[in-house]
Structure 1
């Protein structure tokens, strides 16, 4: 029987690479009003502030590297290419740079811009949005390809469809503030959680939990997945 595994990651996966998260002490929420830079209202009020914010995030992304946790996830995907589904709330490209294939970015992808005129999405790497034009229609009305508060996340459809067929859910480095990972775990046959801490007592809903950094948990999770696939 074919077994399906979902690995769903959040900001905790990339933290060891040096990317600032919103919720950590000293994180982006202490530097920015999240609704000013990550919402449709904020973008409508001051689009340049939002676009410049994501320019800064791209510049920061160019200066960091994938960590061991990204590399282990990439190796799991390589070993089980048709059975392991990689979804992330992160907008960085560190999984891809670690060699991971077919990553689904639930909230968009930082190296990309989207044309407001024709909807075309194109990659600019770590460059600024300034002076960029759409590669399809040549419009200069372009924006970040990130899902903001107040917008629908198209990839959520894929997430919920996959949740219907998976046999093992693995959640790495996400607090559950955006996605109801506790409900996902309750409805999954087996589940594994890895978070640095558990202030909301989410771990009790999972079959197994590793409350530790992703870098130290991923070797154990890889063994868990191997054991699950071979059982």
Structure 2
């Protein structure tokens, strides 16, 4: 395992190396978690002020909860949908979109977030591992479809194809990821020259394994997180910063 000097000593030479490696890389894989959306006003799930502090995940984010009371679950997701769509992409989202434009076809972004802030910031080469809160998914035929404007949305939605009721198009606890989503991410991280992991606890599998996979295949691994994570000991450079500060440090405030 590799130890990032910057994480422990504040070495500017290590940050300079990370900047240089990122600037010349032609294959860059990025994983983001809830920490990147926190500056946009979207609470994380696990910290002291997180979303699950006030809500029991067993009541809102499991298949059994939906089977017991779909109305209750949909009302909660409609509330979250409205709040999420009021949020705007922050500087970290924008800088990742800028990085994608620079790198081109060799760029890949996998996010664990369902808030669509990456796509709204301009990211294109993107996979949403845990789905998207702005979509419904048909319970009968599986078609995915956009939800109405949050100010006009009255749940539940109905499939435009077959007319059956739709459920939230998010991955609940105990469910599998969307078909092919992890495989795309795994391929990108295996082939990456630089892997960047931003704002994730590195505790939720299988996404948590992507940074380690990249490191094992020779990638230069950069972690941005204000707190140590299980990935920190693998990182070549661990920036103990929030997502915005860390991305600005890496990219020098680029536009």
How high is the TM-score relative to the length of structure 2?
A: 0.80
CA RMSD in angstroms comes to 2.0
Q: 1:70 to 1:133 in 2, by over 3 A?
A: same
The equivalent of 1:81 in structure 2 is: 104
For the residues of structure 1 that align with 2:96 and 2:107, how far apart are their CA atoms? Answer: 10
Query: Does residue 174 in structure 1 map to residue 197 in structure 2?
Result: no
Q: 1:131 to 1:38 in 2, by over 3 A?
A: closer
State the 1:131 CA deviation.
5.4
Q: Secondary structure at the match of 2:105?
A: coil
For the residues of structure 1 that align with 2:93 and 2:32, how far apart are their CA atoms? Answer: 10
The equivalent of 1:226 in structure 2 is: none
For the residues of structure 1 that align with 2:201 and 2:92, how far apart are their CA atoms? Answer: 18
The equivalent of 2:183 in structure 1 is: 157
For the residues of structure 2 that align with 1:40 and 1:131, how far apart are their CA atoms? Answer: 16
The equivalent of 1:204 in structure 2 is: 233
For the residues of structure 2 that align with 1:114 and 1:201, how far apart are their CA atoms? Answer: 34
Query: Which 4+ residue blocks in structure 1 deviate beyond 4 angstroms?
Result: none
Return the match for 1:67 from 90, 93, 101. 90
Deviations 1:156-199 (A, max 9, x none): 1222222222221100000011033463354242100001211x
Q: How does 1:1-231 map to 2 (within 5 A)?
A: 3-124=26-147, 126-127=149-150, 128=153, 130=155, 132-139=157-164, 141-154=165-178, 155-178=181-204, 179-181=207-209, 183-184=212-213, 186-189=215-218, 190-198=220-228, 200=229, 202-222=231-251
For the residues of structure 2 that align with 1:119 and 1:201, how far apart are their CA atoms? Answer: 35
Aligned partners of 2:192 and 2:214 also within 8 Å: no
Q: Unpaired runs of 5+ in structure 2? A: 1-24
Aligned partners of 2:34 and 2:200 also within 8 Å: yes
- The count of corresponding residues between Structure 1 and Structure 2 is 221
For the residues of structure 2 that align with 1:214 and 1:131, how far apart are their CA atoms? Answer: 34
The equivalent of 2:13 in structure 1 is: none
Aligned partners of 2:156 and 2:166 also within 8 Å: no
For the residues of structure 2 that align with 1:132 and 1:149, how far apart are their CA atoms? Answer: 22
Structure with more contact order per residue of length (Cα contacts < 8 Å, sep ≥ 6): 2
For the residues of structure 2 that align with 1:177 and 1:153, how far apart are their CA atoms? Answer: 16
Q: Unpaired runs of 5+ in structure 1? A: 224-231
How high is the TM-score relative to the length of structure 1?
A: 0.88
